[in-house]
Amino acid sequence: MSVAKPLPHDAAKLHVTGMARYTDDVPTPKGTLHLAFGLSSIAKGRITSLDLTDVRAAEGVVRVFTAEALPAANDVSPSIHDEPLLSDGAIHYVGQPIFCVIATSHLAARKAARLAKVEYEQDTPILTVDDALAANSRFEDGPRVYAKGDIETALEIAPHRLQGTLELGGQEHFYLEGQAALALPQDNGDMVVHASTQHPTEIQHKVAEGLGVPFHAVRVEVRRMGGGFGGKESQGNALAGACAIAAQMTGKPCKMRYDRDDDMVITGKRHDFRISYDVGFDDNGRLTGVDFTHLVRCGWAQDLSLPVADRAMLHADNAYDLPAARITSHRLKTNTQSATAFRGFGGPQGLVGIERVMDHIAHHLALDPLEVRRRNFYPSGGSISGKMKVGVTPYGMEVTDSVIAELVDQLVEQSDYAARRASVAEWNASNPILKKGIALTPVKFGISFTLTHLNQAGALVHVYSDGSIHMNHGGTEMGQGLFQKVAQVAADRFGIDVGAVKITATDTGKVPNTSATAASSGSDLNGMAVKVACDTIRDRMAEHLAELYQTTPQKIVFADGQVQVGAESIPFGHAAQLCYEGRVSLSSTGFYKTPEVAWDRIKGQGRPFYYFAYGAAVSEVVVDTLSGENRILRTDILHDAGSSLNPALDIGQIEGGFVQGAGWLTMEELVWDDAGRLRTHAPSTYKIPAVADRPEVFNVHLFDNVNASETIYRSKAVGEPPFMHGTSVFLALSHALSDCGAEYPALDAPATPERLMMTADRLAQ
Amino acid sequence: MAKISMTVNGKAVSGEVEGRTLLSAFLRDDQGLTGTHIGCDTSQCGACNVHVNGVNVKSCTMLAAEADGAEVTTIEGMSNADGSLSVVQQAFQDYHGLQCGFCTPGMVMTAAALLKENPKPTEAEVRAYLEGNICRCTGYHNIVKAIMAASGQDVMPVAAE
């Protein structure tokens, strides 16, 4: 069995030797040209004059083009065609591309791009959610509302009621490899594009539309990305489009990579949210109902904001069975970068909302927040306990697979939660300055694309006559280990060593019409598609060998690199050769579509998810209440990856996701000034977690579970769910501050030292 | 333009560079050694770390001309003479100290420099030494583990499950 083994990342050897090629490392033909965008310096208005004389005259510049020179569509939007590649005269944010420079080097292009003389007629920009609400600047005609039960009555009859507001900041992806693309013009007007993208098919579409050619004239290849995290789902369209158009104009290969500052200024980030709540509950902390309002800052273009905001609503319940709920979501349009996909895709924001509510209730009732959480958990579902009681989400989906209660029980025990909570209280009683806090937060995360038709995948598998295998599928590798996990599936289907399976670059010419590698769905979808392709070939082989050896296909076993045919055992390579000589097709496509999902996003009813992934984390922190400086002392995580395809890679996702999630809620702060300029546009001012920021003690374990749904080897998606374990750090910090005064801390995120200090001061007054 | 020569991974190389050309650009663009990665362009992320005369430096913070006459080692020169992985490289693979791999060359260079200075570092010393190297994927846990393992110290394997 090659599945379930903790094999290293497939490219580990290439990575440690520097031989792994990223887009910017692909050897380019002589004469390759380099691109850079000229960017707007204002947030809103119109260009009244654009003088590019100095840009054109600069050293190394080959050509400069604006929107007027584009051969076809001026559009890089992944949704409603509201995002021009180059400004059509209107300016929507600081950093919007206005023109494109083609030059002989990366440096020459960038230097020249600074030489434009641009005059604007400025408008007052809409920068905040308050500005946007006041101006009714929004996507969709009004807020979306999903509801369950009679929320008004639920709140009226509640013995207790609380209101509050939580600010949640955005987050820069900070993939270590910046956005990059390379376009290689072919004969007959065709274009080959190498791009650092999670969505090769969309790059193919946007490039084809930009060139004015059918999709078949464009082939996109992606071997790997140096990190994606959602930031390469749609944000690479502009670079690939510009490169392809420039390549068509000049007949030369064209390449573009954003330097870090440009990348941070131009591209979208995680949506920041303001979440308000009105909650009713009884003396035990059991909710009667909760009314949420989400104000979502979407930036200037729609991009993926609607499904992101939807997913936030779909996670407003997290792991809790809410008798009544209403979630009202305003998708606000502002003159800032177009907020985009980022690991969790709105889910984390929705989840932190209800976790704040649980924490607030516990503070009000002077209960342990863990007890309040437990009293509200969804009842356990079929896979472990077999109990019949089933919870229903605010969007009408039954939760039949919940393991949250058992999982949390186990984590409480493993982490020694009760004793440590007591010792935290003891510490705080005798330490006036350094305050400790501890929090346990659960995660329930819905798996599937909420846009139902995206839940499909294709694969292409060849068995060569020596028994070696070429495997291809629509998923992309961004470090998550997808390629290795899927190769393990392929190896298992043929009973061979995973080393016999060649992992190949994602290629729109091999597997067409693919979905983005997103929504944690990579292994679920592509693993299944590859399994289907492999099984098709294996069945053909078994049929032929049965005929040759006078037996039945059912009696033929593929295992340990051999094919058992009756009493005889032949090497897999020999079997492949026999099948080739027998004129058996040893190549097959595979296709998979997720069953049972059906969702009406306007009504907010249906089954958007095939299943849920679960997990929980306990974090303990210490805060210096005079400075706000803090440390994570210990984190314990127990996470449900179902029957893991590769426990080492899955644990890596959990560790990395947790640190990234904790970074979002504690130290990563995006700051825009009053003119709409992003002032945190480099690692000097935008701090992602560094090596010393992780917990001093860090225990991560997989929860022993199998997926109740029929996924690939009963595994569960693991890309996004662990990100939300960072919530435990945020609420542990809040817990630490709760010792500073009687009021509820009502901490906002990111809980930077500055914000912690100010909150401590407010509480002490 | 200035003519420079240096030894890169044991091989004598030379080239014509502008005064402003960074060592990182010379290695990548002139020498085709693309294992040295550009992550931030501003000497903060550590993806471009190389050794110059045995010292661990961010190659985007040094001019190519400054390395004239120097002995430079890049990630491509870190394997053993027979092509097998060095102890540090092997440990990064075995202990899953990488995901997307983009920061990995810089991490390996920094780890090797640390172990040369301090063959048995404590975990705290490893963390202090790695402060100039950013990773966005792993949360650093397995990177630290890999370096501890490379130093010959006992480390729990990943994913015993």
Percent above pLDDT 90 for chain A: 98
Q: Cβ distance B99 to A652 under 8 Å?
A: yes
How far, in Å, CA of A361 to CA of A370, rounded? 11
Q: What is the pLDDT of residue A381?
A: 78
Choose among B62, B71, B115: nearest CA to B91: B115
Dmax (CA) of chain A = 88
Q: What is the pLDDT of residue B158?
A: 62
Q: Which long-range contacts (CB under 8 A, 24 or more apart) does A354-357 make?
A: A354/A290, A354/A292, A354/A316, A354/A317, A354/A318, A354/A320, A355/A318, A355/A441, A355/A727, A355/A731, A356/A164, A356/A166, A356/A275, A356/A277, A356/A731, A357/A162, A357/A164, A357/A277, A357/A279, A357/A290
How many degrees, rounded to 5, is the angle at CA A219 between CA A214 and CA A225? 135
Q: Is the pLDDT of residue A717 over 90?
A: yes
Residue from B137, B138, B147 to probe the interface with A (highest A Cβ count within 10 Å): B137
Of A227, A647, A700, which has the smallest distance from its Cβ to B136's Cβ? A227
How far, in Å, CA of A595 to CA of A618, rounded? 34
Q: Which two tokens stand for residue A142?
A: 């009004």
A386 touches chain B (CB under 8 A): no
Q: What is the mean pLDDT of residues A76-82?
A: 97
Domains of chain B, with CATH numbers?
2-76 (3.10.20.30), 87-150 (1.10.150.120)
The answer to whether the CB atoms of A701 and B161 lie below 8 A apart is: yes
pLDDT per residue as tens digits for the range A89-115: 999 999 999 999 999 999 999 999 999
How far, in Å, CA of A591 to CA of A530, rounded? 8
Per the listing, tokens 């694309």 go with A449
Of A479, A657, A700, which has the smallest distance from its Cβ to B101's Cβ? A479
Q: Which residues of B touch A109 (CB under 8 A)?
A: none
H-helix or E-strand spanning residue A90: strand A90-91
pLDDT per residue as tens digits for the range A329-371: 999 999 999 999 999 999 999 999 999 999 999 999 999 999 9
How far, in Å, CA of A713 to CA of A720, rounded? 19
**Separation of CA A737 from chain center:** 31
3-state secondary structure of A749: strand
Q: What is the pLDDT of residue A387?
A: 53
Q: What is the pLDDT of residue A386?
A: 52
Q: What is the pLDDT of residue A566?
A: 84
Bridge partner residues of A469 (DSSP): A463, A501
**Separation of CA A62 from chain center:** 38
Q: Is the pLDDT of residue A382 over 70?
A: no
The answer to whether the CB atoms of B159 and A648 lie below 8 A apart is: yes
Q: What is the pLDDT of residue A365?
A: 98
Q: Is the pLDDT of residue B160 over 50?
A: no
pLDDT per residue as tens digits for the range A268-316: 999 999 999 999 999 999 999 999 999 999 999 999 999 999 999 999 9
Query: What ipTM was predicted for this assembly?
Result: 0.97
Per the listing, tokens 């030059």 go with A103
- Identity of the residue numbered A615: G
How far, in Å, CA of A87 to CA of A45, rounded? 11
Choose among A611, A594, A607, A609: nearest CA to A383: A611
pLDDT per residue as tens digits for the range A521-553: 999 999 999 999 999 999 999 999 999 999 999
The answer to whether the CB atoms of A655 and B45 lie below 8 A apart is: no
Q: Is the pLDDT of residue A174 over 90?
A: yes
Q: Cβ distance A398 to A391 under 8 Å?
A: yes
H-helix or E-strand spanning residue B112: helix B104-117
How far, in Å, CA of B113 to CA of B62, rounded? 18
3-state secondary structure of B115: helix
Q: Which of residues 629-648 of A touch B (CB under 8 A)?
A: 644, 647-648
Q: What is the pLDDT of residue A383?
A: 45
Q: Which two tokens stand for residue A583?
A: 């004129």
How far, in Å, CA of B44 to CA of A494, rounded? 46
Q: What is the mean pLDDT of residues A667-678?
A: 98
Average pLDDT value over all residues in chain A: 97
Q: Is the pLDDT of residue A400 over 90?
A: yes
* pLDDT class of A384 with cuts at 50, 70, 90: very low
Per the listing, tokens 């270590």 go with A176
Q: Is the pLDDT of residue A58 over 80?
A: yes
How far, in Å, CA of A130 to CA of A167, rounded? 13
pLDDT per residue as tens digits for the range A9-38: 999 999 999 999 999 999 999 999 999 999
Q: Is the pLDDT of residue A8 over 60?
A: yes
Of B32, B78, B100, which has the smallest distance from its Cβ to A478's Cβ? B100
CA distances from A556 to A494, A498, B134 (A): 11, 20, 51
Q: Is the pLDDT of residue A3 over 50?
A: yes
Q: Which of residues 256-295 of A touch B (CB under 8 A)?
A: 259-261
Q: What is the pLDDT of residue A373?
A: 98
Please report the sign of the dihedral spanned by the C-alpha atoms of residue A521, residue A722, residue B98, residue A491: negative
Residue from B141, B145, B147, B155 to probe the interface with A (highest A Cβ count within 10 Å): B141
Among this protein's residues, is A754 annotated catalytic? no
Bridge partner residues of A765 (DSSP): none
Q: Is the pLDDT of residue A731 over 70?
A: yes
DSSP A151-179: HHHHHHS-SEEEEEEEEE--B----SSPP
Q: Which two tokens stand for residue A717?
A: 């998606």
Q: What is the mean pLDDT of residues A49-77?
A: 98
* pLDDT class of B34 with cuts at 50, 70, 90: very high
The answer to whether the CB atoms of A648 and B158 lie below 8 A apart is: yes
The answer to whether the CB atoms of B140 and A178 lie below 8 A apart is: no
A73 to chain B nearest CA, in Å? 32
Residues whose CB is less than 8 angstroms from the CB of residue A366 and which lie 6 or more positions away in sequence, other chains included = none
- Identity of the residue numbered A139: F
Q: Is the pLDDT of residue B143 over 90?
A: yes
Of B47, B99, B140, which has the smallest distance from its Cβ to A9's Cβ? B99
Choose among A662, A655, A657, A720: nearest CA to A689: A662
Other CB atoms within 10 Å distance of the CB of residue A115: 18
Q: Is the pLDDT of residue A182 over 70?
A: yes
Burial readout A52-91 (b: 16 or more C-beta within 10 A, e: otherwise): beebeebebbbebbbbeebeebbbbbbeeeebbbbbeeeb
Alpha helices (H) along A187-236: 200-211
Q: Cβ distance A472 to A490 under 8 Å?
A: no
Percent above pLDDT 70 for chain A: 99
Q: Which residues of B touch A175 (CB under 8 A)?
A: 100, 102, 136
